[in-house]
Each structure stands twice: as structure tokens, then as C-alpha cells.
Copies of this chain bind each other. A is one copy, B any other.
Amino acid sequence: MTPDEFRRHGHALIDWIAKYFETVEQYPVLPAVKPGDLVRALPPSAPEHAEAFEAVIGDLERLILPAATHWNHPGFFAYFAITGSAPGVLMELVSAALNQQAMVWRTSPAATELEEVTLRWLARLMHLPDQVEGVIYDTASISTMHALAAARDAAVPGVRARGLAGRPDVPELRVYCSEQAHSSVDKAVIALGLGQSALCRIPVDLSFRMRVGELQDAIREDREAGRWPVAVVATVGTTSSTSVDDVAAIATICQREAIWLHVDAAYAGVMAIVPEFEWMRAGFDLADSIVVNPHKWLFTPFDLSVLFTRRMETLLQAFSVTPEYLKTPEAAAARSLMDTGVQLGRRFRSLKLWAILRYFGAEGIRDRLREHVRLAQLVGAWVDANPDFERVAPVPFSVVCFRAVPRGVPADAASLDALNGRILDRVNTSGEVFLSHTKLDGKYVIRLAVGNLRTQEQHVRRAWDLITGALRVEAP
């Protein structure tokens, strides 16, 4: 494709995307397709001869959009709602064009150093200690895997060289997290060879926070049984209810016991930027590692996850491998991003985060985060004011967990679960909104997550109208 053709197609796509952004609210949030529809609409083999690029662009409209879930829609309230903001989208374009592979400094000084600068900016905004260093990965799952790998390195002598198998000197290992911690912790202990049974899930209190006393008991029992604690994963903003573990208390235990403390703040971590949320960062300064995902609640197109750690040298010791063909004269003077984990090549992800921090400014970010919290608390208040509904968890951030419990309809637990499932289906079928569910205390619960910059009060109000309307249909 010549530069002139690139101009022509590029301008066409910019206009196409601008129109999509303008009209996104007109699409159903969840597309009206069934499994296999797109597969059946496409040929079974690649074309032998070149096709016009116009044909590809045409298929975006004809085939891809109708099968896309509209994460950009202001009515997207499922999982964690996110924003791929326009400045971030444009910087992904630039990143793809520059095609940097930041394995070592010389393969991209720009990507290596802009990552350092941007993460320093973010760390300061979040009031993290100065000695914290950061690294960008793709997802929180990979960030947590690397954090726990570093913890494993700190806990198990010689694990990098000798591994875990066939070693009578290494007993069963343990990682602790709450019952509400994310499934990425399971995946990490599976991948790292600790095994899923190494994950000790500590019960939670009535606000879905880890019971710290039970953590202490579990550690003591494990030590008495000869098992080695490797790490504790505390969560600030759990996936189901956005509950916040008592990181400060957990940190005290971890310090006393010399156990790595990893904080999963993938969703809520960015709220540390907002002064009135100072309470949530108590203990952050004592954490060995913290994961926060700008692609969740910092307006950054997927993917960009940040791992901050006070113990970068342990992570580097765990993963540095430099074959001859990657030796460079700058290795002593500059970080080689390849040393920070499994991945050798790294995309130029910092570019979008850098642009976003500048485009919105700290002040603009704080304002927008506060507005999301305000909208969620508004929904929480509507739930509380409606006797046919109950709120099932506190609303510390931008997610509301609730369910219908209609008056005058005697119902067992299973019927209530089924009713709420039907309400959720009915609401989602409208195409105007998309909410998801979870279970809390064994109850089926509807979640409404605010996180998209396009979402305004009218959208959460419409969601609430759809929910109350669905209840009237399902339990008249």
C-alpha cells in the first residue's frame, strides 16, 4: 500500500470511526447474532488473489459491527465498563505505525523510556512511594502471574534454576487471597506450578472483605503443617462487589511473616488519584507489588496493565535471560524490558497512556472518576428507595450490586435467583443496556458497573427504568 493509498484509506477509516462514535448509541449493546453466525458468513479459505482494501472496509460495516459487542456504548454496564478514549485510540494508531519492539533499549529507546516516565507520572498521581518501579504488561492476569512468580522466587530458594518438582527440600506452597479475589489468581498459581489447591481462599466478612484474623490463622496452620506461604493477594475493588480488603492490616501480617504482599487493584487502583479516596490506599506503601489497569478505568484502549513493585530486582532476577543475540552495549545503562517477564517483545503501550494523562490532565481525570462514582451512588440510592429491591453490597466505587425481592411475592431462594436472571435477560435483550451478574452470599445478584465516559445520568436512569419495568413484567 503506497503512502497515498494509506492516506486515502486512513482518512476513510477515521471518518468511519468518527461516525461510529457518533452513532454508537443506536447499536444494540449486545449484538443480535448467534454462535457461528460470523463463521458461516465468511469464506472457508483465504483468497488466492489480492482483494481491494475497500472490500475489507466494507465488511467492517457489513459483518464486523453487527457481531461486535459495543463496549463503547453508554449503556454498557456489564463486568467493568471501560472507555477506549479517542486520544488513546489515536495513539494506538501511531504505536502500530511505529511498530516498536521494545525488547532491549536499542530496539526502542522511545518505548523503553516513555514507559518509565509515564509510570512515574502514574505512580505519583496514585501517591505511591518514590522507590516503586513499574512495568507495563497486557493484562492484570499477566501482571499478577509475574508478581506471584517474583514472590515464588523470594520464597523458594533456587526455584529459578531447579524449579519445584522432585525437590524434597520444598514442601507444599501456599498463596492466600479472599473468597472474592479474581480468577486470575487461580490461573497464576496453575501456570506457576503451585497448583490450584495451593490457593487458600480466606472467608470474607459481611462487606465481602477478607477476614484478616482467618488469614492469620491460615498462615499459622500452614506453617505448623510445614507448608510455605509464598504470597498474599489483597484486593482493592473485587470483581463481584468492588469490596476493599484491609490492606494495611494484611500488610502488617505480611511484614511480620515475611510474605510477599500483592495488591490486586486492577479496577479500583486509579481511584488512588482522587484525594477523598485516600482511605483506599492505606497499606499501598507496604505492598510488594500492586497491579492497576489503565484499560479498565483510566480511559485507555485495551490492553494496558501496570505492575508496580518495590522489588523490581526480584522480578528481574526471576526472569532475566540474555542470549548472545540480544546482548547490547547499553544493557548496563538502561533497562531491557525483556528482563521484566516472560514476553520478549513489548508493544509501545505507554504512548496511549502518556497521551491520555496529558489530554485529560490530573484534574480532568479526577472529575470524571468522581462523576462515575456519583452515578453509581445514584443508582444505589434508587435501589435503597425501592422496597422491591435490595442492595447486596456497599458501593465504594462505581459498581452497584442489587437484586429484586418483590414485596408480597413469597419466594424461596431458587425462585428469587431465577427471577433476577429473567430480569437481567429481559433488560439485556432490550439492546439499550448490557448488565452482568454475579453471586454474593450464594444469591444471584445483578451488577451495574459505570465506567464509560459516554455514560451520563440519563443512561443510568434508563437502565433503572428498564430494570424496574422488567420486574413488573416478570413478577406482576
The stretch that binds B, out of A255-263, A351-359, A373-381, is A351-359
A134 to B330, CA, bound (A): 38
Do B93 and A17 touch (CB < 8 A)?
yes
A337 to chain B, nearest CB (A): 12
Interface string of A60-84 (1 = CB under 8 A from B): 1000110111011000001100111
Residue of B nearest to A113 (CB): B38
A327 to chain B, nearest CB (A): 8
Determine the chain B residues whose CB is within 8 A of the CB of A114 once the complex forms. Answer: 38, 42, 64
Interface string of A170-191 (1 = CB under 8 A from B): 1111000000001110111111
Determine the chain B residues whose CB is within 8 A of the CB of A197 once the complex forms. Answer: 161-163
A187-B321, A447-B325 known; A30 and B193 CB under 8 Å? Answer: no
A64-B110, A192-B191 known; A347 and B303 CB under 8 Å? Answer: yes
A302 to B92, CA, bound (A): 12
Contact residue among B38, B90, B116, B324 (Cβ-Cβ distance under 8 Å from A110): B38
A96-B92, A325-B239 known; A6 and B14 CB under 8 Å? Answer: yes
Do B160 and A190 touch (CB < 8 A)?
yes
A114 to B151, CA, bound (A): 38
A169 to chain B, nearest CB (A): 10
A364 to B333, CA, bound (A): 43
Determine the chain B residues whose CB is within 8 A of the CB of A44 once the complex forms. Answer: 120, 124
Contact residue among B187, B326, B361 (Cβ-Cβ distance under 8 Å from A47): B361
Determine the chain B residues whose CB is within 8 A of the CB of A53 once the complex forms. Answer: 87, 90, 355, 359
Do A18 and B6 touch (CB < 8 A)?
yes
Do B36 and A318 touch (CB < 8 A)?
no
A7-B15, A183-B326 known; A56 and B358 CB under 8 Å? Answer: yes
Do B97 and A35 touch (CB < 8 A)?
no
A360 interface contact, C-beta 8 A: yes
Determine the chain B residues whose CB is within 8 A of the CB of A360 once the complex forms. Answer: 50
A276 interface contact, C-beta 8 A: no
The stretch that binds B, out of A246-254, A282-290, A402-410, A434-442, is A434-442
Determine the chain B residues whose CB is within 8 A of the CB of A475 once the complex forms. Answer: none
A35-B330, A39-B116, A96-B301 known; A90 and B9 CB under 8 Å? Answer: yes
A106 interface contact, C-beta 8 A: yes
A45 interface contact, C-beta 8 A: yes
Determine the chain B residues whose CB is within 8 A of the CB of A139 once the complex forms. Answer: 343-345
The stretch that binds B, out of A19-27, A206-214, A385-393, is A19-27
A165-B173, A195-B163, A324-B240 known; A68 and B110 CB under 8 Å? Answer: yes
Dominant secondary structure at the A interface: helix
A456 interface contact, C-beta 8 A: no
Do A71 and B86 touch (CB < 8 A)?
no
A11 to B7, CA, bound (A): 8
Interface string of A90-108 (1 = CB under 8 A from B): 1111111111110101111
Do B163 and A194 touch (CB < 8 A)?
yes
Interface string of A220-239 (1 = CB under 8 A from B): 00000001000000000001
The stretch that binds B, out of A141-149, A308-316, A462-470, is A141-149
Do A192 and B195 touch (CB < 8 A)?
no
Do A141 and B106 touch (CB < 8 A)?
no
A476 interface contact, C-beta 8 A: no
A206 to chain B, nearest CB (A): 19
Do B342 and A191 touch (CB < 8 A)?
yes
Do A45 and B121 touch (CB < 8 A)?
yes
A51 interface contact, C-beta 8 A: yes
A419 to B6, CA, bound (A): 43
Top-8 shortest CB links A-B = A193-B193, A163-B195, A84-B99, A10-B14, A92-B96, A166-B172, A1-B86, A35-B334
Given contacts A7-B14, A10-B93, 6 further A-B contacts (CB under 8 A): A6-B18, A56-B354, A56-B358, A56-B359, A164-B164, A239-B323
A-B contact pairs, 29 of them (CB 8 A): A3-B21, A10-B93, A21-B97, A31-B110, A35-B330, A37-B113, A47-B357, A49-B362, A68-B109, A68-B111, A69-B100, A71-B100, A79-B101, A79-B107, A79-B325, A82-B99, A82-B101, A138-B347, A149-B191, A152-B193, A160-B190, A161-B196, A163-B172, A163-B173, A166-B170, A183-B321, A187-B342, A192-B193, A193-B193
